[in-house]
Each structure stands twice: as C-alpha cells, then as structure tokens.
Amino acid sequence: MVLPTQLPAAPEGTPSNTVALPRTNQLAGLLTIIRDAKTNRGDFIFYSDRIIRLLVEEGLNHLPVVEKTVNTPTGLEYNGVGFEGKICGISIMRAGEAMEAGLRECCRAVRIGKILIQRDEETHQAKLFYAKLPDDIAQRYCLLLDPMLATGGSAIKAIEVLLDHGVPQSRIVFLNLVASPEGLEAMYKAYPEVKVVTAWIDESLNEQKYIVPGLGDFGDRYFTSN
C-alpha cells in the first residue's frame, strides 16, 4: 500500500507548548529504523543523528531574532536577521549527550552544560546528582537535550535546575526524539512557558512507566557496542 507523503499531525489534545515535527514519510522511516530491535549500533547512531539534526534545526526556529544588516560581495546591503542572544546546550546525561554533536553541527563553538539526573525505579522520582553549567547561563537561551520523555520527571527536574540558575522558562527549549502524552502533559502543567520540540508522540506509558511502543533504552543502544 502506498502511503501519502504527509502523515496525520500530532494527536489531538497535545499541549500548546509542544511542537511536533511534521509527520513526513522520511521521519516515519527514520524512526522505524531506530525502533527496530534488529538495527545494529552503527545504523542506530547514524539514523538517530539524522533525526537529532532535524530537531535542532526546528528548535532554533523557536529562538527570537533581531534585524541585522550585512554587506554582500556585490557591494549591496542585505537586511536579514541574527539570533537575539547567546545560545547554550544542556544535555541530561547520559542519553542527552548523544544530541550534543547535532547541536554543534548547527551552532559552531556552542557552550554545552551537563546535568545528571537519575530516576528511582520504585518511586519513579527524579533526583539531581550533578550539574555543570555555563557561568553566564542566566543570559543565554538554553536548548535542553534528552532523547526520551517518559514521565517527564527528569526533564522537569532539569528545568528546575535551570530556573534556580536564573534562566527564565521562556528561554528554555526542550528537544527530544520520542515523547509520551503523559510526559508532555506533566511538562505543560509544571512549566507551560517552556517550549517542547519532539520528533514523535507515542501512544502512552506502560505499567513500568516506559514509553510504548518506544525504542528501548536510547543511551544503551547509542553508546554500548553490540
């Protein structure tokens, strides 16, 4: 069966602070590859990186710009735009570190901070273990990086850390590959001014609080040899 080139949009009821990438056949195909349990690590990294690049490009679209005039090689002026302020990336370790290269490909010499948060498997509550952030982070726009949004606990905790360091909600954009509806709703209730950019919204969480159909443990599949 031949499918249309543009698949249905994000599910109805998606929170207003969430932006999902257009459900094109290209994106669906990339996600099909990385969801496949038989996909080897090399292919998983390659195709995940392609999706990450799409996410970063879309995330940058949501940062404010100001007018900027430059002189072209023809000797004429061009009235364009430039980003309003400085940008940094904040990866939620360790899976979020897989998204750093994609950000650097789009933003040369971008500053990168790191936050380590772990979830208690019994209570499912997130706990902060480590944070290393740029000294001037309060003056920057922050792209928060984490591939999977399940309950939202880790992302919410990471945003709390950024707020404690003086970053306004409106300057945070959270980038992720696969999200659950429950996680998106939790994010919206906690921090409605934080923009969430996701590649795909999955069906739900199961009883173990894992995303279904999901793609397994992203960090293990990206960083661990098979």
From 119, 171, 221, 224, active-site residue: 119
123 given a catalytic annotation: yes
Closest to 216 (Cα-Cα) out of 65, 95, 67, 37: 37
220 given a catalytic annotation: yes
Contact between 181 and 156 (Cβ < 8 Å):
no
Tell me the β-bridge partners of 70: 78
119 given a catalytic annotation: yes
Contact between 177 and 55 (Cβ < 8 Å):
yes
Rounded CA-CA distance 182/145 in Å is 19
From 5, 72, 123, 224, active-site residue: 123
Alpha-carbon distances of 20 from 15, 17, 27, 177, 205, rounded to whole Å = 11, 10, 11, 10, 18
Q: What are phi and psi of 212, to 5 degrees?
A: -125, 140
49 given a catalytic annotation: no
User: Taking the chain, what is the end-to-end CA distance rounded to the nearest angstrom?
Assistant: 34
Q: Which of the residues are catalytic? A: 119, 123, 217, 220
